[in-house]
Amino acid sequence: MALDVGVLLQVLFWGLYAGCIYILLATGLTLIFGVMKIVNFAHGELLMLGAYITATVFALTGINPYSIILLTMLILGVIGIAIERSSFRPIMGTGKLNEIFISLGLIYVIQNAAALIWGDERQVLTSPYQTITIPLGPIQMPVDYLIIILVTALVLVGLTLLLKKTSLGKAIRATSQNRKGAQIVGIDVERMDMITFGIGAGAQYRPSRHSPSSSWEAWEASPVPSSGA
């Protein structure tokens, strides 16, 4: 049976697009775990909130959803800091079981809060580029795919530069590698925890279909493209 090159390329690009959602989710999750060593099963809820926040800002302003990315990340970062201070900070060092219970509790709190605010019906944030494609050889590539891939690449490059080239990034890495050693040299490890949780939360962005029950879907990083392709 002959292999259709066009179909193969379409599948490869879809896999790359889908992988970008996995990457954004995993990057924030591993960054938080790497520094704080906490298990946060509620991380998928932040991805869900990112979609709702973007949809809300879009509904109120009519601004291009992709232009809202930075604002969404900032809001998610603030939410992440609030979660770290109020939920995980008080139980740091008391055992993984407490972390699991807290994160499972956060799942239900955030899900139900989202249902109260936005309703429990699945919503769709329609991309302004959903009908636009770019010819790449034998296939037509949706512009949305390319934008998400580019945004993911920029986020990864930005995080890499932050962690490797800045004093803040070096302090975060030092805290991850040896908390006691970092404290001895004057690094405020609690502040690094707070900043790291904020960055990890802010890295979540998913402009697509979303509902309060979609958090486990987000946890599994199962993407639904806003292009409808």
Helix (H), strand (E) at residue 134:
strand 133-136
Q: What is the secondary structure of 22-53 as a DSSP string?
A: HHHHHHHHHHHHHHH----TTHHHHHHHHHHH
pLDDT of residue 192: 93
Distance CA 229, CA 222 (A): 15
Give yes or no for residue 210 having a pLDDT over 90: no
Helix (H), strand (E) at residue 136:
strand 133-136
Distance CA 180, CA 35 (A): 12
Residue pair 172/36 in contact by the 8 Å Cβ criterion: no
Distance CA 74, CA 85 (A): 17
134-173: pLDDT as tens digits: 887 777 888 888 888 888 899 899 999 999 999 999 999 9
9-60: pLDDT as tens digits: 888 888 888 888 888 888 888 888 888 888 888 888 888 888 888 888 888 8
73-109: pLDDT as tens digits: 999 999 999 999 999 999 888 888 888 899 999 999 9
DSSP state of 94: S
Q: List CB contacts of 227: < 8 A, sequence separation 6 or more.
A: 127, 129, 130, 142, 143, 144, 145
Domain boundaries, the chain: 10-219
Tokens encoding 90: 């008080």
